[in-house]
Structure 1
């Protein structure tokens, strides 16, 4: 039974990296002929997989942080939430986030710049509200999101005719 449970876990790990917590859930759900693994057997399998290097929460957290930043443009809040949802312990999450340079403001501005042009047809308040919302959902805190959104929208509108009334000095 243990061998079959290990094979199941290996198959799962081939398709997606799992945290120790996620692996525990897989093993606890394993059933063969109406019998489930006892918690001691689950712990033994997990210890064995950790010793072999198949499971490593610190390595997984580092990979998820890198992926979240580079591919998804996520901020610390979103990254922390994603790691916690995968069952990675708080101290491992904190260590992975500590490796991240403190450039949330730069990453937020970079993301905001990519989105600002698409919002140019909207009035200023609506564009700002939407862009701040997008940044917040990506895990940037309120002040970082607001600053990045205002800067990106100002840059995007520079050189574009402004809407509204223009006053001309007639001296």
Structure 2
């Protein structure tokens, strides 16, 4: 278990060393945006001037890179949770990633890839919805896709297609 670094306000602690330890501890688990790191330093009472200087240095050496962070975040969250650009953009905004950087990262998701992800989500959810009528299934599935950031048009189209395939007979019964 990692022990907490001392408070930078402690008389005996070297504030720069403490701040570096905080940053390295934060980056050990996963990549983080510059603002996430700045917020953590502020929470730990690191002076703003020192925080800015260290964050600039960490950027220079490539340990903090909002562009790489955004690309990695989009790829990972889309693959793991099936999130669409709208939801991913909100997450990146909350993490302090600039809109233009987020837009660039979101552009890596193609429309075919998004539609296939929506279909996978719908098929997975359909398995547990046998007891519901089509109207209820449609409402719940479209709602699920909307919460994941899919456009209403794509959500309705995918749900309609998947319900049609799900209900269609798989072949002649012999």
Instruction: Judge same fold: TM > 0.5, yes or no.
Output: yes
* Alignment of 1:92 onto 2:106: no
CA-to-aligned-CA distance 1:25-68 (integer Å, 9 cap, x gap): 1112223xxxx41x221110100111111111111111111112
**1:156 Cα deviation from its structure 2 partner:** 1.1
From 36, 39, 56, the counterpart of 1:25 = 39
From 85, 88, 93, the counterpart of 1:79 = 88
* Alignment of 1:69 onto 2:83: no
Provide the secondary structure at the position in 2 that maps to 1:112: helix
Report the structure number with the largest CA radius of gyration. 1
From 43, 57, 64, the counterpart of 2:66 = 57
TM-score (norm 2): 0.83
Superposed CA RMSD: 1.5
From 120, 123, 133, the counterpart of 1:110 = 120
Unaligned runs of 5+ in 2: 1-14
Unaligned runs of 5+ in 1: 161-171
Match of 2:53 in 1: 44
TM-score (norm 1): 0.85
Looking at structure 1, the residues matched to 110 and 140 of structure 2 have their Cα atoms a distance apart, in angstroms, of 27
Q: Is the 1:120–1:157 Cα contact (8 Å) retained in structure 2?
A: no
CA-to-aligned-CA distance 1:105-125 (integer Å, 9 cap, x gap): 232123212222322220110
1:156-167 map, 5 Å: 156-159=166-169
CA-to-aligned-CA distance 1:76-132 (integer Å, 9 cap, x gap): 111111111111111110010112222222321232122223222201100100011
Match of 1:125 in 2: 135
* Alignment of 1:3 onto 2:13: no
